[in-house]
Chain A
Amino acid sequence: MTFDKFNRRIHLYSALVLVPWFLIYGFSAIYFTRPIGHAPKWTVRIDR
């Protein structure tokens, strides 16, 4: 296997493994850059 082919395969397979991370960082960044929605509300579960 040539270096070029090895490089392409590593690039492809590592990207496929990391797809969920890229999706999370990509989408979460949209929320960081603009004030969309509201802060999550807390629900009282126990009060004692």
Chain B
Amino acid sequence: MYIALVLTPWMLIYGISTILMNHRAFFKKHYGGDLVRWIKDKEQPYGGRFSAGAGAPMMAEQILRDLHLEGNYYTNLSKASRKLTIFRNDLVTPRRITYTPADGKLLIEKQEFRAQPFFERLHRRRGYENRYMLDTAWAVSVDLAIFGILFWIASGLWMWWELKVTRRAGVACALAGLAIFTLFVFTI
């Protein structure tokens, strides 16, 4: 019970986001085409110099540092190094920064806040493959949520078995669930 109370926000997030992800087509229609919409935040010249042989991640980190937008990101350098695109993974306001070396300009766009992409971002944010402490702390909390789910399965089964009056109907329900699940696994 206490684990459940601690993990209520995580369970709500994963529950709500899964519904929204399962009904993406509806939300695309609702938003008029694309789920996300980028809005121009600002455009500015960039005079930063990159060290020789600097790869896309190094360039991206320097730009993010100069813009005071450090944090989790992924980047993409187009063919012939014509354009560097940085996606700053902010949960509430993700930003897309496009650097064009030819004219030395930075285009900074932010994502319009919409419920579906927001919940989907929360759902997908995970993993330890980053070097940001807050992201790692989130990954630990996700592990705790996973532990909670697995623990509830075990403790729930135990509590059910202790209730003799519900054993028979419970077995029927468990077998029905298993049968439906197995059917899906081998047919879809």
Residues of A whose CB lies within 8 Å of any CB of B are 9, 12-27, 29-30, 32-35
> How many residues in B have their beta carbons less than 8 Å from beta carbons of A?
28
In the assembled complex, the CB of B75 is this many whole angstroms from the nearest CB of chain A, namely: 20
Total number of A-B contacts with CB less than 8 angstroms?
66
**Contact A19 to B177, CB < 8 A, known contacts A26-B149, A26-B153, A29-B142:** yes
Cβ B166 vs Cβ A12 within 8 A: yes
- Once bound together, how far apart are the Cα atoms of A17 and B171, in whole Å? 9
For the complex, give the distance between the alpha carbons of A1 and B155 in Å. Answer: 25
Tell me whether A13 and B129 are in contact (CB under 8 A).
no
Residue of A14, A19, A24, A25 with most partner-chain B CB within 10 A: A19
Shortest Cβ distance from residue A47 to the other chain B in the assembled complex, whole angstroms:
27
Q: Shortest distance in angstroms between B104's beta carbon and chain A's nearest beta carbon?
A: 37
Contact assessment for B142 and A19 in the assembled complex, using a CB-CB cutoff below 8 Å: no
Type the 1/0 row for B58-84, where 1 means its CB is closer than 8 Å to any CB of A.
000000000000000000000000000
Q: Encode B150-188 as 1/0 by CB contact (under 8 A) with A.
A: 101100110010010010011001101110111000000
Q: Does B139 lie within 8 Å of A16, measured CB to CB?
A: no
Contacts of B145 in A (CB 8 A): 29
**Known contacts A9-B166, A13-B169, A33-B126: does B146 contact A19 (CB below 8 Å)?**
no
Q: What residues on B are CB-neighbors of A21 within 8 Å?
A: 177, 181
Is A19's CB under 8 angstroms from B170's CB? Answer: no
Q: Determine whether the beta carbon of A33 is less than 8 Å from that of B143.
A: yes
Contact present for B181 and A33 (CB under 8 Å): no
Contacts of A20 in B (CB 8 A): 177-178, 181-182
CA distance A22 to B170 in the complex (A): 16
| 5 nearest A-B pairs in the assembled complex, by CB-CB distance | A17-B177, A20-B181, A16-B173, A26-B149, A16-B174
